[in-house]
Structure 1
């Protein structure tokens, strides 16, 4: 599998998870989104985006909006989302320019669902292209779109997501 390095294989062997991992890969298509994944991803209004500079300095950002539509799945191997200026630092955008490899973690803490997506991102700042997506997104105050070509997607283990929900509920808040 092209996404994994020899080091991944070595640690699976070292920690005795090789058979477990092979079983997951034998019944799951990790190269494209399923219809169920698409429905879930398009229903979420927040996610976490991991990027890395060309030197390998990592960065993770929360991406979210009050709108109910943040990610548009273009097809089973591509998705797109708006990028906002936020505090103006633009870590993610700068990283993508030097290293297109990204990771997305899409989570619904209330339903204990999470999906991990790895792929290659590109920045779209052409106003004509952006305008063709305005009907999808509820917000229009973004400066660019980020399109991700998916290399790898997998439902991530949902164990312990309830810790977040329970922590919020313990404080008297609602999820």
Structure 2
């Protein structure tokens, strides 16, 4: 059954590396709670208590807005094949934009992507596993290339214009400070 740990073990790091999807949860004190699915090769375990992930351009920018107001974040992985397990990472996160030195330090950990929007670093203060007995088996078929293809067609200028139109405020009106 479930366990609480102070850090990410080597076995859990291997489990994370094998996953094709993870979920990010954030919230401000007021407004909506946001849970976002994330895919592609966009997550790295840096140390037993530090992870980073690449946030790609999307239709909203809720995570950025929430982290500016409250740095709490939960990341969840589910085993959809093999031994059942749910893994949650709890901690405090920082968001780095292209203008930040930290962004430049971390961006090289990920494959190049025109839609790269932010890098998010989380200091993990609690790791929790639970059974995952009710999580269904699902087969991974392939990555969707839709976002990457769209981003490449937009080019850097087109992506920044999209950010200006769609990513400067959350659905609750909170600033994202993308620019």
Query: Structure 2 length normalisation: TM-score?
Result: 0.68
- Of 62, 74, 80 in structure 1, the residue corresponding to residue 46 of structure 2 is 74
Partners of 2:106 and 2:62 lie apart in 1 by 23
Residue deviations 1:76-119 (CA, integer Å, cap 9, x gap): 001000001211x2011111111111111112211223211111
- Of 153, 157, 160 in structure 1, the residue corresponding to residue 131 of structure 2 is 157
Partners of 2:18 and 2:111 lie apart in 1 by 13
Partners of 2:35 and 2:88 lie apart in 1 by 14
Question: Unaligned 5+ residue runs, structure 2?
Answer: 143-179
Deviation, 1:138, is 2.2
Equivalent residue, structure 2, for 1:107:
78
Deviation, 1:131, is 3.3
Partners of 1:121 and 1:37 lie apart in 2 by 20
- Of 38, 41, 57 in structure 1, the residue corresponding to residue 16 of structure 2 is 41
Equivalent residue, structure 2, for 1:13:
none
Local SS of the residue matching 1:41: helix
Local SS of the residue matching 1:136: coil
Partners of 2:100 and 2:51 lie apart in 1 by 18
Count of matched residue positions in the alignment of Structure 1 and Structure 2 = 139
User: RCO higher in 1 or 2 (8 Å CA, sep ≥ 6)?
Assistant: 2
Equivalent residue, structure 1, for 2:119:
145
Query: Structure 1 length normalisation: TM-score?
Result: 0.69
Deviation, 1:174, is 6.5
Local SS of the residue matching 1:130: helix
1:95 aligned to 2:66? yes
Deviation, 1:159, is 1.1
Partners of 1:93 and 1:45 lie apart in 2 by 22
> Any runs of at least 4 consecutive aligned residues in structure 1 with deviations exceeding 4 A, and if so which?
none
Bigger mean CA deviation after superposition, 35-44 or 51-60: 51-60
